[in-house]
Amino acid sequence: MNSGECIAVLGSNGCGKSTLFNILYGITRGNSGKFLCDGTDLLSNSKLREKTVAYVPQNPLLIEELSAKDNLLMWYTADEIKASLSSGVLNILGISGFLKTPVKKMSGGMKKRLSIACAVSNKPKILLLDEPSSALDPMCKKTIYEYIERFKKFGGTVILSTHDLDELAFCDAAFVIKDGLLSSFKKSDDIDGTVTQL
């Protein structure tokens, strides 16, 4: 895994993709293994991991009663929000269109974009995305994909889980989880019980 790359982790529902991401982010303790960044194991250095890694889980961790802006204020200063809405991540993700909307009234796509914006407030090197485009409309997917490309362009590394083979188009490498094992993805891999054709 190198800077500026997007790595896909594929597999059927329930295969362990989310569990893997929870381990990489430090929510769940793994039995063994390392998560190396610049030679340092992030699994054994929680302070560095918090500075280096951002995680957007499948289900958004937002405060439903608050607006998008109020959720953002938990991660950004008011001046940072203003600047980012002009030319930063908030602009790219189209947050200005629903800045005053309460989370409980947002669509799934709005919640996903807001979750990404909150997660990357500390400018991480590594972004973990658990099924970022699941159940989203094409325009919202396009916005998220454009942000991923920008994140890569500036040297960030993205690791995303998916069962959508279309997402492999912008990924630099792919791995598949099957029967508890992670291995390089091949075109003939059986992901969902049928032979996958790319």
Average pLDDT over residues 53-81: 96
pLDDT at position 195 is: 35
Average pLDDT over residues 89-99: 95
At residue 196 the predicted structure's pLDDT band, cuts being 50, 70 and 90, is very low
- For the chain, give every domain's residue range: 6-184
Q: Which of 102-116, 157-171, 173-187 has the highest mean pLDDT?
A: 102-116
Answer yes or no: CATH 3.20.20.60 is held by domain 6-184: no
Residue of 146, 153, 150 whose CA lies nearest to 132: 146
Average pLDDT along the chain: 89
The predicted model scores a pTM of 0.89
pLDDT at position 189 is: 58
